[in-house]
Chain A
């Protein structure tokens, strides 16, 4: 958490000091992001060891693992695309996720209820969390696209080194094309698990319904892009709408929703 805060401030610093020293500061920020991600990883492993199981059974655990998946997806993308000037949004998002997890969602480790005792916990939940991280990254990029589109060629100084609109557009598409099959798999793995735990593979439980809506949303996104040829602004909006259904599913259904996916208080 602390290191991410540091990475965030270094990013902000890099932007403020955009001249020659900005480049150096982004490098430091990226290094700190890598360090921060490694620290979250250690935290996840520690949590798993303290619980004696995979640490994916409540919202606190989903959130820290999701933040890790998101940061990792960002770092992987960095290898091919120079997104370091987006670092400020990325570290800010990680901070928000970790912050809510630690302050609002924290629960001491507890053993699993019987319905969760299954290999599918590892498969279904890890797939869903990775999807969450990559969806979030694709959405951060789509949102950046929409913000920068307004400026056209006269970008403000902080955004001068962010890749061109075309690259952002293509990148958010690539991320979604990569993660869509995984999301499909997560839903199907959930269905197989539901069949053995609840006696039916699909029952329109609120969580299932919203997972389906997200799936439909991104299926529409891929069709709109590949077949109808939507690009740029329209595609970015569709990406954000579909992404918000995922967020809604995660926040609303877990906290205020009812249904079979609500187990131990969050």
Chain B
């Protein structure tokens, strides 16, 4: 049994296995770039399920929609890291021993080594020169053994240990981090509690009560676009924010590449869109719904879809809606937006009455209405200030405000991962560019010396080094 375990361990920590696992990890990463992933494009995964249900089911069983969290992907990298640890730890200990010990004895016949030469000089003088060049030296009665370039192995081990540090950082974040998204209308206030979020995910060892109690109130959002390409040029979000309800609020700016930070929690500006402001009245003129309603952008010109739901009426009302900041209605084609700024805003509504299905228990998207059980009343397109009146009441398009998507992320392990990454580069540079080599010098007769050397991995430059020492000795 122990024999078998030892065999498995030796196989696992062998270089060939490590190399195999490394290549396998590269191969295993490929499907995740070809098949849509739940983590990055959940909507595409849903479409995939809708279009090819059979294939999607098979893919799902193989975890192809969550490749990077799948058991088989995890298995590869965990095995790789075990193999790496099993390889690196013994080598670290061994390296520490070698670094402490004197260089090995000089070979008995130097003329068989590289760059053998006979020169004149004394051992004592040679020792001074080698010491000055910061060689590690072992001096015996009639020979010197000198070695330099331990940095190579040190760097190599440092690099691999740093990779472990990166992995620790990533695991730390997945245990103690959190990540959530919230769509906030300009002028509304966001308090950092789980209910304020549209979606939120906590690490396995994080609880909702760990959320820092900050407040954010977006006060102004300016989006600039290039009039000829419609590409965005700049987004600037101004917010009033306070670390907790008792503190005084300060004005801060959030931009795409400069998030707002509270400790290890960062608040990113991730997306933006429009919330049309509507007022829905019943037959008697009483207001049943009023306010901005976030719509989801469908294209770069912010053609947006949304749902206006009025559950507090009998029968309930629902408006399947579209908002176009700059409307363009080509003949025979559906309307769309031709520019992302609100130059000629238009709200299109399809009014329905009946049961919105909000009490059925199944959660609904706030951007969609299931019209199966509804009766269509009519269609209307409205400019700002216009009202559409129908039998059950009316809807008025009052105006619009921009909304911003705040992504709030707590990533406590990222510093560890960054330190690991920087150390990894340093280690890599040392291990690839440091040259490990030995030089031996032997006293033959009188003031005659023999010199020769050996470079690990055929590193270049040893010949010149030996010639230089010979020159100095002369």
> Which residues of A line the B interface, CB within 8 A?
110-115, 117-118, 120, 170, 177-178, 180-181, 184-185, 188, 191-193, 195-206, 209-210, 212-213, 216-217, 219-220, 222-224, 226-228, 245, 253, 257-259, 264
Shortest 4 CB-CB distances between A and B: which pairs?
A216-B26, A199-B268, A114-B256, A206-B33
Whether the Cβ atoms of B32 and A204 lie closer than 8 Å is: yes
Contact A223 B19, CB 8 Å, known A200-B409, A259-B40:
yes
User: Which residues of chain B are within 8 angstroms of A259 by Cβ–Cβ distance?
Assistant: 40
A114-B234, A216-B22 given; 11 more Cβ-contact pairs under 8 Å: A113-B233, A114-B255, A181-B432, A185-B425, A198-B268, A199-B266, A205-B40, A220-B23, A226-B457, A228-B19, A257-B33
Closest chain A residue to B257, Cβ basis? A118
Alpha-carbon gap, A222 to B160, bound state (A): 14
Taking the nearest CB of chain A, how far is it from the CB of B157, in angstroms?
Answer: 13
Which label, helix, strand, loop or mixed, suits the secondary structure of the A interface? Answer: helix
Alpha-carbon gap, A188 to B421, bound state (A): 7
User: Which residues of chain B are within 8 angstroms of A180 by Cβ–Cβ distance?
Assistant: 428, 432
User: Which residues of chain B are within 8 angstroms of A117 by Cβ–Cβ distance?
Assistant: 234, 256-257
The interface size of chain B toward A, counting residues with CB under 8 Å, comes to 51
Whether the Cβ atoms of B421 and A191 lie closer than 8 Å is: yes
User: 1/0 contact trace for B391-429 toward A, CB 8 Å?
Assistant: 000000000000000010101001001100110110011
Alpha-carbon gap, A114 to B224, bound state (A): 10
Taking the nearest CB of chain A, how far is it from the CB of B431, in angstroms?
Answer: 9
User: Which residues of chain B are within 8 angstroms of A185 by Cβ–Cβ distance?
Assistant: 425
Whether the Cβ atoms of B15 and A184 lie closer than 8 Å is: no
> Which residues of B line the A interface, CB within 8 A?
15-16, 18-19, 22-23, 25-26, 29-30, 32-33, 37, 39-41, 44, 67-68, 170, 179, 226, 229, 231-235, 255-259, 266, 268, 270, 407, 409, 411, 414, 417-418, 421-422, 424-425, 428-429, 432, 457-458
Whether the Cβ atoms of A111 and B15 lie closer than 8 Å is: no
Identify A220's interface contact among B22, B170, B226, CB under 8 A: B22
User: Which residues of chain B are within 8 angstroms of A181 by Cβ–Cβ distance?
Assistant: 425, 428-429, 432
Whether the Cβ atoms of A217 and B26 lie closer than 8 Å is: yes
Contact A223 B22, CB 8 Å, known A114-B256, A203-B39:
yes
Whether the Cβ atoms of B226 and A110 lie closer than 8 Å is: yes
User: Which residues of chain A are within 8 angstroms of B40 by Cβ–Cβ distance?
Assistant: 203-205, 259
Contact A111 B226, CB 8 Å, known A223-B22, A228-B16:
yes
Whether the Cβ atoms of A212 and B29 lie closer than 8 Å is: yes
In the assembled complex, 5 residue pairs joining A and B whose CB atoms fall closer than 8 Å, in A order, are: A110-B231, A111-B226, A199-B266, A201-B417, A223-B22
Whether the Cβ atoms of B235 and A223 lie closer than 8 Å is: no
Taking the nearest CB of chain A, how far is it from the CB of B292, in angstroms?
Answer: 24
Closest chain B residue to A192, Cβ basis? B418
Taking the nearest CB of chain A, how far is it from the CB of B66, in angstroms?
Answer: 10
Identify A111's interface contact among B16, B233, B259, B432, CB under 8 A: B233
Whether the Cβ atoms of A227 and B15 lie closer than 8 Å is: yes
Taking the nearest CB of chain A, how far is it from the CB of B331, in angstroms?
Answer: 27
User: Which residues of chain A are within 8 angstroms of B226 by Cβ–Cβ distance?
Assistant: 110-111
Whether the Cβ atoms of B229 and A200 lie closer than 8 Å is: no
Identify B232's interface contact among A114, A198, A223, CB under 8 A: A114
Alpha-carbon gap, A181 to B427, bound state (A): 9
User: Which residues of chain A are within 8 angstroms of B414 by Cβ–Cβ distance?
Assistant: 195, 201
Taking the nearest CB of chain B, how far is it from the CB of A262, in angstroms?
Answer: 12
Closest chain B residue to A205, Cβ basis? B40
User: Which residues of chain A are within 8 angstroms of B234 by Cβ–Cβ distance?
Assistant: 114, 117
Alpha-carbon gap, A117 to B257, bound state (A): 7
Alpha-carbon gap, A203 to B235, bound state (A): 23
Identify A264's interface contact among B29, B229, B258, CB under 8 A: B229
Taking the nearest CB of chain B, how far is it from the CB of A176, in angstroms?
Answer: 10
Taking the nearest CB of chain A, how far is it from the CB of B379, in angstroms?
Answer: 34
Contact A177 B432, CB 8 Å, known A111-B226, A199-B268, A216-B26:
yes
Alpha-carbon gap, A245 to B26, bound state (A): 10
Whether the Cβ atoms of A113 and B432 lie closer than 8 Å is: no
Whether the Cβ atoms of B231 and A220 lie closer than 8 Å is: no
Alpha-carbon gap, A111 to B231, bound state (A): 9
Whether the Cβ atoms of A115 and B257 lie closer than 8 Å is: yes
Taking the nearest CB of chain A, how far is it from the CB of B285, in angstroms?
Answer: 44
Whether the Cβ atoms of B33 and A216 lie closer than 8 Å is: no
Alpha-carbon gap, A184 to B409, bound state (A): 25
Whether the Cβ atoms of B15 and A223 lie closer than 8 Å is: yes
